[in-house]
Amino acid sequence: MLDLQNKHIVLGLTGGIACYKAAELCRALIKQGASVQVVMTESATQFITAVTMQALSNRAVYVSQWDAREPNNMAHINLSREADAILVAPASADFMAKLLHGRADDLLSLMCLARPVSEVPLILAPAMNREMWINPATQRNVVQLTQDGALVLDVGQGDQACGETGDGRMLEPEEIVQDLIAAFQPKLLAGRKVLVTAGPTYEAIDPVRGITNLSSGKMGFAIARAAHEAGAEVTVIAGPVHLSTPRGVIRVDVRSAQDMHGAVMSRVKEASVFVATAAVADWRVSHVAEQKIKKTAKGDAPDLQFTENPDILGEVAKSGRAQSGELFCVGFAAESHDLQKYAQAKREKKGVPLLVGNIGPATFGSDENALLLVDAKSVQEIPKANKLELARKLVAEIAQRMKH
């Protein structure tokens, strides 16, 4: 899935050692389907050459506002009108201060000032020394630029070229690409708080053994990312999975079904949407052995007694906030067969307005899925696709249903 297919991005580079990351960023944008036009300040050429960026973007690089290649000699107008977004990475402290005051004494600043504000978003990825970043003047500039409509990304933390350590590093290329992709997504859940559960739970038998399932958590994490892209404040409560946390999403790691129950109940009171994607174990061992259970001489299997785990979705769906419509609940059903039958039965049993069904063995661990949306009036199939694509469609469905 190419999230930036048919998008034309102007990639602006200002002076700073973080220019070395611009090469990888350019390649990452192109891999996502974008075409990239590089515009550099004179200072940026001290850190990386125009030849390098031309080779990577496969387009001639612009540096001077007096570039004679444009028939009308108005590169700042022509290039900004062709852009779907202007991304300045790295954005130096000096350049951000220049933008704040509307100064336009080079091609890149001219473009930023001349762009159609309502049509061409401006995204800034700051990069500077930690003291420069925390300086009150820089922080005031960030606030004002944001109020003026620019999207100012956060900064990374770590070792800096000067030898110091702290905030101010430019984000990594993949992080910037994710934020750029998010900027293009409609803000269908702006102002909402979304709580998502994801992955399996693990129910211990003894200190080294346990009961779990094959859920990878990929669908839940995709939903968390899609909800964040849609403008929501998102928390994902994750069972034991090996997945990177989506940009901008708060993550809470848990292990057992009881752990997940406690984490959900302590946070769901603030949520406006609850999406129960996790494959929660139905039962747990009643008494967990303190030591590893050894084989007997006769080879007898251990006598395990089970206790039913709390029904997280059912409990949330029966809460006053869910019953009043203040909290919109979405359940998931992973079945091995008769998907529609069991999904409809689960929706009625749990009492949720929307139940999403899928065939578990066909999707666990996969990057793709196919969904069945079941509500009180209809059944809708969403064909097999990338899980992030499906998550965005599901978020759109949730947003639409919350309007009614």
* pLDDT computed for residue 169 by the predictor: 93
Please state whether the peptide bond connecting residue 90 to the residue before it is cis, i.e. omega within 30 degrees of 0. yes
Closest CA to 227 of 283, 258, 187: 187
Condensed to tens digits (0 to 9), the pLDDT of residues 261-282 reads 999 999 999 999 999 999 999 9
Q: Do domains 8-184 and 193-290+302-402 have the same CATH topology?
A: yes
Q: Locate tokens 């954005």: which residue?
A: 91
* pLDDT computed for residue 94 by the predictor: 96
The class level of CATH for 8-184 reads alpha beta
Q: Is the pLDDT of residue 404 over 70?
A: no
| Active-site residue identified among 19, 26, 162, 329 | 162
Active site residue 329: no
Q: How confident is the model at residue 342 (pLDDT cuts 50, 70, 90)?
A: confident
Name the pTM for this structure.
Answer: 0.91
Question: What are the residue boundaries of the structural domains of the chain, listed by start?
Answer: 8-184, 193-290+302-402
Closest CA to 355 of 336, 387, 337, 328: 328
Which range (266-280, 313-327, 355-369) has the least confidence?
A: 355-369
Condensed to tens digits (0 to 9), the pLDDT of residues 160-184 reads 888 888 889 999 999 999 999 999 9
Which residues are registered as beta bridge partners of 236? 196, 251
- CATH superfamily of domain region 193-290+302-402: CoaB-like (3.40.50.10300)
* Three state DSSP letters for 219-272: HHHHHHHHHHHCCCEEEEEECCCCCCCCCCCEEEECCCHHHHHHHHHCCHHHCC
